[in-house]
Structure 1
Amino acid sequence: MNFSKKVLDITFLGTGTSQGIPMIASNDPVCLSTDLKDKRLRSSLLISWNDLTYVIDCGPDFRQQMLRENVQLINGVFFTHEHADHVGGLDDLRPYCYKIGDMPIYLNKTTLTSLEKRFDYIFSKENRYPGAPSVTPFLVDSNSFLVDGLEVTPINVKHGKLPITAFRFQDFAYLTDVKTIDETEKQKLKNLDVLVVNALRIQEHPTHFNLKEALDFVDEIQPKKTYFTHISHKLGFHKEISKKLPENVFLAFDGLKITV
């Protein structure tokens, strides 16, 4: 197996917060915007290397995202945590399970326990519904592991009091729903080419980085490039906020593709 550095192809499937943009029943100007970059599905990422394709989180918009990007095959899913906007599309893994069999999923113990309860028919060993998706869980902790020849490093962060698993793939890292991170975990984020991290809104929030906190975090970590995700309509218009960001810091948008 070849363990040399891989070329990573990244697609932002969704860049919105838990309710997406536009938010239901909202007359906020950002929700009414006609700019496609202001229309955000729930946050998720597609990452590919060596003709292999993985997703990070599969929320309620997963089906729509897969159809939009014409994704024919998925080899596994990395879950950051169990909130509905990150796991609500779990059942829509079915077509991919039909192709590859049991779908590998990588997640922490807290997330697995929640999924086993909420999607018990998927994890049940007895009297399984024949159309249910089939998954094989792989528990992650603080230790790096290999996935199809690529080293993956979990980074443990906090979303309020909830433990979140962020992931580093070579020199690319994806963090979402972050509010706090200790110094030991920050060391895992040194020398990044690309950092993706949440920047929810302008005003402070109890469980998410706001824009100032996200920018302070970027100043501390010093990646070559940063993309903000998990954005709410309260951050403002994509075009206006983008003009105010430092060099090499960008607002991600749905459908954005980068290579690392």
Structure 2
Amino acid sequence: MNKPFCGTALITGASTGIGAALAREFAGNGHDLILVARSLGKLRALADELSAQHGIQAEVIAQDLSVMDAAETLHAEVLRRGLTVDILVNNAGLLFEGPYWETPLASHQQLLQVNIGAVMALTHHFLPEMLARGQGRVLNLASTSAFQPVPYLASYAASKAFVLSFSEALAIELKGRGVTVTALCPGFTETEMIAKDGGKSMSVPLVRNMTAEEVAQEGYVACMTGRPMHVNGLANRALVTLGRLQPKVLQRWIIERVAKSGIL
């Protein structure tokens, strides 16, 4: 097991949901923070709260990661401020629910830019600096959706499959270099992202949606101990294991019927 260290964590999508919960978890464990999201007001409020509560330093950078050169701009701003990123948390993500063809192509492209493009680019910018120092952590937010096709979330699930594969490959490449990469795979989590019309959240039958705080607590431990992959929650881990043991044809048959039932 890799020995945990206390360094500065840059967290994208930090203004709400799992990102904000991760910010609180890292701050509670003594880490200085660089909080990134589109909403400057929410970031400042969170930074002030965590600085006052935990005595840590919290910088805020407003950045829209759907912009093509956002990662380069963000990296340059971090360098301009003289900051060091010891832990990169690629949490920002988008989700669009519905039939693939009914969602505008521009929305799918925006999703891929945030969920894949920004993850790749930010890792590419900050990883060499970690390697030069001989230590660092990268935490990439994947999903249990990464393990199988998910109708009506086709682009989202495919993007998370990329993040999972990308993270596990990098974890192998970086072995013995002092830097670890972790893919965190939560199931449906009670955040604004999965809220449907009428206030009901998306869910999986017989599986309780986790809270953002629960996901963040497990994610922090997985990241700091250098696990290549962690699935949040016992029920989610059981479903992922069961899915991996099923023939693909059976997996698709089950998923098709769950999707047609409308209970996702």
TM-score range, shorter chain: 0.3 to 0.5
More strand by share: 1
TM-score, length of structure 2 as denominator length: 0.36
More helix by share: 2
